[in-house]
Structure 1
Amino acid sequence: MTSVLDLGADAGELAAALVDIRSVSGEEQAIADAVEAALSRLDHLQVYRFGNVVAARTRAAGNAAGRRRVVLAGHLDTVPPADNLPARREGNLLHGCGAVDMKGGLAVMLRLAARLDQPAVDVVYIFYDCEEVEASRNGLGRLAREHPDQVSADFAVLLEPSNATVEAGCQGTMRVEITLHGVRAHTARSWLGLNAIHAAAPVLQRLAEYQPRTVEIDGCVYREGLSAVRIDGGVAGNVVPDRCVVTVNYRFAPDRTVDDAHAHLQEVFAGFELAVVDAAPAAPPNLHAPAVVDFIDTVGKPVAAKYGWTDVARFAILGIPAVNYGPGDPNLAHRGDEQVDVRQIAECESVLERYLLTVPGPTGRTAAGQPWSER
C-alpha cells in the first residue's frame, strides 16, 4: 500500500512522514511511489517516472524558450537505520534515519512543488535513488544518460544538508582495494606459511603516517582524507591466511581529476597491488557563474566548501552550474543520533521560494541545456 504524503502539512510533519518510509539504497520503491502519487495530484506539474526516479517539471517549461530553467534535486535513499526509526520529535529537532541526509531537503522540494504553480523560472524537481552507494547505481546519473532532457538546466540546487548555507563544489571520491598475498599453513606450524594479514601492516603504517592536503579554491578550503574502511582476510581459526584485502577511500580536492587521484594513490602505495573499485570526480566551486552569484546573493550568507561527494559533480560534468543548499548539519549524516532542526527546513523553503519567484529570467544555457521547445 502506497504511503500518502500530505504536501500541505507543516514542513517538520512532512519530513517526519518521509523519514518513516524506510528507503535504504536499493529499497526506494515505496518512497518513490509515495512521491509520485503526491506530485501527480498537482495540475501544474508534468510528472515522469523512470524506475525509482521521479521527475516533475512546471508545465510552462515546454513552451517557455528563453526562461531560465532551475533543477532542484535530492536523493530518496538513506544508509541502513541504526535503531533510529520511526521518526521522533523533540521540540524543534526531528530525529530519525535520513532526517538530515536528506529527507528534510526532500520535504522542502515537495512543499515548493505543491505551492509554486507560477514560478518566475521553469523548475524541474528530481527525486532519485541509489546516491549512497557506488556511482554506477546512481539514479541521477542513469537519468542523465537515458533521458538527458530531464536534467538539462541553467542552474541546479542539490538539497544536500549544508546548515542552510551554500556549500560549493564537492570532493571527489575514489575507493581502491589493496590485495596482499601469503601462503596457507596450519597455525600449529605457522612458520610454514606466510600470513597475508600480517603483510598488510606496511599499508596501515602508510595510512597512519599520511599527511592529507588542504587546498583553497575561490576562497573555499577543501580538506582531503585517506582512510582504510575495510579489511577482509582469513579462512578459518586454525589457518594462516593466504590473502588479505584492505579497502581504502580517498577524498580529494577539486584541483585533482580522477586520473590524478589514481596516480597519487599509486604513488602512496607503491609496491602494492592496487585496484580501483569505485570513483567519482570532484566539482570546482564555480562561484563566478551568473546563476550561482544570483543564488548566493539570495541566500545572503558566507559560502563554504562541501566536504563529501555530491551530485553537484555530475551537473558539473554536464556543464551546469550547481550548488549544495539544504537543511541540517552534514556532520550528523549517517549517525545513530541523526537529527535536523525543522526551523532550517522552513528557512531553506523560504529562501528557495524567494529565489524561484524573483530570479532573473535571461538564460545562459549551453547547447547541452537548450530549451525543451528547441529539442
Structure 2
Amino acid sequence: MSSSVAELTRELVAIPSHDDETAAGDAIERWLREETTAHVTRDAVGNVLARKRADGSPRDEPAPRDESDDRRSLAFVGHHDVVSPADSQIRDAPEPGEYVVEERDGRIYGRGAADMKGAVAAAMVAFREATPAERADLVFASFVGEEVGGVGARHAIEEGFLPDYAVVGEGSTNYSSPGVTDVVVAHRGRRGVTVTAHGVASHASEPEAGENAIYRAAEAVERVRDLEFPSVEVAGETLAGSVAVTEIDGGSAINVVPDRCSFTVDERTVPGERADLEILADVPGLEWTVDQDLPPMQCDDDAFAEATLEAARESQSGKPELVTKPHATDAGWLSQAGTECVIVGPSEPGEAHTRDESVSIAVLERCRETYRTIAESWPA
C-alpha cells in the first residue's frame, strides 16, 4: 500500500466496507505496521488502534501508563465503515464488488471518500509523520460501526480506550465560509423514541365500549408538538435542538376501535439539555422506549480548541473559525466518556452518503498538515 494521502485514500475507498469492514481494517492495520514503528492492535470487533511516543517506542512495546504518570495522549479518530453504495459506485469488472474510484478536477470520487476514508488516510499519514510532543502519546484509532450507532467506539471505550484529547476527522469544511476547514467544538446528538399507546378494542359501532388507542396517541403527539426545543450557546453560535414525530402506526380494520397505536419521535439533543418527554407521563395507557441515544459533544477545554484552531490556520490561506455541527459523530461517545474532542475533517455539508460522494485532494492535504501540527504541539 502506498504512502501519499491521495493514493492511500483511493486504495481505502476501493475496499468494500458497508456490510463487512474486515478487509478495510486489514489494509489499515497492515499499512500502520509497515509504515510506522507504532504499537498496533486489532480488537475483538475490528477496531484498528495504534500508539507511539516521541522516544520511539517499538511497535511490540505499548507505551505504559499508570495513575502517577503525567503523560497525556492525543488521538486521531476515524471510522472505516460506510453506508451502502449506489449501484453506480460498485465495480462490475475487473474486480467485481470493489467500489468505483475516480479522480477528476482535483477530487476523489467513491463511496466513503468523504465519510470518511479520506480523513482516515490523512490521519494515518500524519500519524506516521508526526513526532509527538514531549511526554505525550500519539494515538490512532479507526473504528467499525460508526454508521450504525457507534458500535466500535463504544466497544473501545468499554475496553479502556480513553485518550485525554481527540481530533475526530468528521467533516468540518465549508462551515464558516466556502473553501475553509474549520474546527468543530460542539455537535448535536440524536435520541430516537418509540411511544406506544394502549387501549381497549371494541366494535366501531360501539366506540364507547372500548378505549381508542389512536386518540391517546393523538393527545401524546400534540404534547410532543408543543415541546420547547432546548438550545445552548457555543462558540458564538446557538446550537438548537429539535423534536419531531416521524412515524405513526395503529389500527387493524375499518370497523375496529384500536387497542394499540405507536409513533416515533426524533429528537436532536444538545450538550447538557434534553426535551422534557416526562410531559407524556400522565397520558393514560402510554409507555415509551428509547431506541437510539447518540450523545452530543462539546469541547470544554478552550486551550485545546484554540491550539487546534491555530494549527488549522497554519495549514490554509483562509480564516477558519470555531463552529458547531448539526449531527452526531463518534466524538459524542468519546466526549461522554471524558475525552476532550474537536472535529477537523475534509468532508463538506451535503457530500456524504451521496451517489457522487467525493473529497478534495487539496483539503485532504490541508487536514494532514493540521493533524501533524497539532500532534507536535499538543499537549503544550
When residues 218 and 183 of structure 1 are mapped into structure 2, their CA distance, relative to the original with a 3 A threshold, is same
- Contact 1:169/1:284 (8 A) holds in 2: yes
Matched, 1:267 2:279: yes
Unaligned 5+ segments in structure 1 are 1-5, 363-375
Structure 1 position 306, deviation (Å): 2.3
The range that moved more, 38-47 or 90-99, is 90-99
When residues 214 and 8 of structure 1 are mapped into structure 2, their CA distance, relative to the original with a 3 A threshold, is same
Structure 2 match to 1:369: none
- Contact 1:218/1:287 (8 A) holds in 2: no
When residues 196 and 318 of structure 1 are mapped into structure 2, their CA distance, relative to the original with a 3 A threshold, is closer
Query: Matches of 2:206 and 2:107 in 1, distance apart?
Result: 59
Query: Matches of 1:319 and 1:76 in 2, distance apart?
Result: 23
When residues 337 and 208 of structure 1 are mapped into structure 2, their CA distance, relative to the original with a 3 A threshold, is farther
When residues 304 and 242 of structure 1 are mapped into structure 2, their CA distance, relative to the original with a 3 A threshold, is same
When residues 236 and 40 of structure 1 are mapped into structure 2, their CA distance, relative to the original with a 3 A threshold, is farther
The alignment's C-alpha RMSD in Å is 3.2
Match of 1:248 among 240, 245, 265: 265
- Contact 2:79/2:146 (8 A) holds in 1: yes
When residues 113 and 195 of structure 1 are mapped into structure 2, their CA distance, relative to the original with a 3 A threshold, is same
Structure 2 match to 1:373: none
Match of 1:316 among 323, 329, 335: 335
Report matched runs for 1:10-29 at 5 Å.
11-24=5-18, 27-29=20-22
Match of 2:84 among 65, 80, 85: 80
User: When the two structures are aligned, how many residues end up with a matched partner?
Assistant: 339
Matched, 1:124 2:139: yes
Query: Matches of 1:311 and 1:89 in 2, distance apart?
Result: 28
Match of 2:40 among 44, 47, 61: 47
Match of 2:169 among 156, 159, 163: 159
Query: Matches of 2:111 and 2:165 in 1, distance apart?
Result: 29
The range that moved more, 204-213 or 337-346, is 204-213
Query: Matches of 1:337 and 1:239 in 2, distance apart?
Result: 48
Spell out, residue by residue over 1:162-187, the C-alpha distance to the aligned partner (whole angstroms, 9 max, x if none). 112111122232111111345668xx
Structure 1 position 108, deviation (Å): 0.9
- Contact 2:77/2:142 (8 A) holds in 1: yes
Query: Matches of 1:208 and 1:80 in 2, distance apart?
Result: 33
Structure 2 match to 1:56: 50
**Which residue identity lines up with residue 3 of structure 2 in the other structure?**
G
Structure 2 match to 1:329: 348
SS of 1:332 mapped into structure 2? coil
Match of 2:239 among 209, 219, 222: 222
- Contact 2:185/2:305 (8 A) holds in 1: no
Spell out, residue by residue over 1:10-34, the C-alpha distance to the aligned partner (whole angstroms, 9 max, x if none). x33432332232222x622221122
Report matched runs for 1:294-305 at 5 Å.
294-300=307-313, 301-305=320-324
**Which residue identity lines up with residue 145 of structure 2 in the other structure?**
C
Task: Give me the identity figure in percent.
Answer: 29
SS of 1:331 mapped into structure 2? coil
Structure 1 match to 2:326: 307
Query: Matches of 2:254 and 2:108 in 1, distance apart?
Result: 45
TM-score, length basis structure 1 = 0.77
Query: Matches of 1:14 and 1:239 in 2, distance apart?
Result: 61
When residues 176 and 63 of structure 1 are mapped into structure 2, their CA distance, relative to the original with a 3 A threshold, is closer
- Contact 2:235/2:323 (8 A) holds in 1: no
**Which residue identity lines up with residue 153 of structure 1 in the other structure?**
P
Query: Matches of 1:336 and 1:161 in 2, distance apart?
Result: 18
SS of 1:78 mapped into structure 2? coil
Spell out, residue by residue over 1:327-347, the C-alpha distance to the aligned partner (whole angstroms, 9 max, x if none). 111433334443322221111
Structure 1 match to 2:27: 34
- Contact 1:285/1:305 (8 A) holds in 2: no
Structure 1 position 8, deviation (Å): 1.4
**Which residue identity lines up with residue 274 of structure 1 in the other structure?**
W
- Contact 1:66/1:361 (8 A) holds in 2: no
- Contact 2:186/2:323 (8 A) holds in 1: no
Report matched runs for 1:113-192 at 5 Å.
113-116=127-130, 118-120=131-133, 121-135=136-150, 138-146=151-159, 148=160, 151-163=161-173, 164-181=181-198, 191=205
**Which residue identity lines up with residue 168 of structure 1 in the other structure?**
V
Match of 1:212 among 221, 224, 229: 229
SS of 2:111 mapped into structure 1? coil
- Contact 1:168/1:220 (8 A) holds in 2: no
- Contact 1:74/1:102 (8 A) holds in 2: yes
**Which residue identity lines up with residue 267 of structure 1 in the other structure?**
I
Spell out, residue by residue over 1:258-281, the C-alpha distance to the aligned partner (whole angstroms, 9 max, x if none). xx44xx122268624222222243
Query: Matches of 1:166 and 1:75 in 2, distance apart?
Result: 19
Spell out, residue by residue over 1:201-222, the C-alpha distance to the aligned partner (whole angstroms, 9 max, x if none). 4555555555534431342421
Spell out, residue by residue over 1:88-135, the C-alpha distance to the aligned partner (whole angstroms, 9 max, x if none). 33413333332222122111122223434x343531100111122235
Structure 1 position 318, deviation (Å): 3.6
Instruction: Give 1 or 2: higher helix fraction.
Output: 1
Query: Matches of 2:82 and 2:266 in 1, distance apart?
Result: 20
Structure 1 position 349, deviation (Å): 0.8
TM-score, length basis structure 2 = 0.76
